[in-house]
Amino acid sequence: MWSIRMRASKKSGVRDQGSGVRQRQREIHISGAEGIYDESEIRKACESYIKRALTHSRGKPDEIIITIEKIRQKPKTISLLPVATLKCSSPEKAREIITQKLKSLDISKKAIDKGFAVLNSKKTMRGASLILLKSGRRIEPDKERGVRVSRMGIEKSAEKKLSEKLSGAKINTTRLRRVKEALVLASKAASCRDIIAEVCISDDPDYTTGYIASKESGYLRIPNIKREKEMHGGRVFFIRETADIAGLISYLERKPVIVI
Ligand code: WAQ
Ligand code: MG
């Protein structure tokens, strides 16, 4: 088994008015993706990741990094969270739905507000923010990058079954890959004891469905979580105050996990 990861970015330079010299460069995240594959699938997976990076709605990257790495550890097997789609007509309504759900999971107002600040910020991150559910403190070591959930995949027959189920639930084929990937990610995160909930908004200007996920309620899709053309988005995990933070981050980033 192989872990394949892709990230694409572009540098944005701020030019000095007088000299025209680039002063400061910030890396803007365009696209990222990851999965676990058999050796025979490596070429195809890389080709599709490259295509995704080069045709992304967030813009043209000037750097694409692909990492292909053999997995030595036996992956842990997990099951998928159940999926449902909620009714929601606007970002304001979405915020109400999410706030109510998070409150019912005993997440403080402070933590909820911090979560929305991350999700609505123009400075999008490559990874996720980790927020302590009482104090609202952000505990990811790198606040610009965040924590990237990685080394997760889905077994072939489970994927086939899921595709059929999602198609049956009228999720159209252009969305299918995205929903599957998000669901696998959310299922890996939910398999951590110390992650109580996750909220996700895509940072793609053309994708306006997000979700809230938890062990209690599963993966709840929320249409119109943002408006078309908006560039903000992100992921936040609400964490138990007593969590072993290093252990949690290591699990999310490094532990191979396969959905069966
Ligand atoms: N680990 C941690 N955070 C991530 C990861 C990852 N592997 N991938 C993306 N993020 C964060 C990052 O901050 C991005 O800016 C943000 O999430 C959004 O990523 O059922 O497409 O890949 O229809 O744009 C949800 C599907 C789609 C909803 C989410 O997210 C549905 C999506 P994107
Ligand atoms: Mg994106």
Tell me: do 67 and 194 sit in the same domain. Answer: no
User: pLDDT by residue (tens digit) across 130-163?
Assistant: 999 999 999 999 999 999 999 999 999 999 999 9
Atom of ligand 1 nearest to the CA of 127: 3
127 lines ligand 1 (CB under 6 A): yes
> Are residues 209 and 87 both part of a single domain?
yes
Amino acid at 28: I
Ligand nearest to the CA of 181: 1
Q: Are residues 129 and 184 in the same domain?
A: yes
For residues 250-255, give the mean pLDDT. 98
118 in the same domain as 58: no
Whole-model pTM: value is: 0.95
Judgement on whether residues 40 and 85 belong to the same structural domain of the protein:
no
36-66 pLDDT tens trace: 999 999 999 999 999 999 999 999 999 999 9
* DSSP-assigned beta bridge partners for residue 129: 236
Same domain for 47 and 173, yes or no, is no
**Alpha helix (H) residue ranges in the chain:** 42-54, 91-104, 109-120, 156-168, 173-190, 245-254
Task: Identify the band that residue 25 occupies on the pLDDT scale cut at 50, 70 and 90.
Answer: confident
Q: Which of 202, 226, 237, 250 to mutate to test the pocket of ligand 1 (most atoms within 8 A of CB)?
A: 202
CA distance 231 to 251: 29
Are 39 and 98 in the same domain?
Answer: no
Q: Are residues 118 and 197 in the same domain?
A: yes
Residues 138 and 215 in one domain: yes
Q: Looking at the CA of 6, name the nearest ligand.
A: 1
Same domain, 67 and 86: no
Looking from the CA of residue 175, the nearest atom of ligand 1 is 23
Residue ranges making up the domain that contains 130 = 77-259
Q: Please check the confidence at residue 17 and state whether its pLDDT lies above 70.
A: no
- pLDDT of 122 strictly over 70: yes
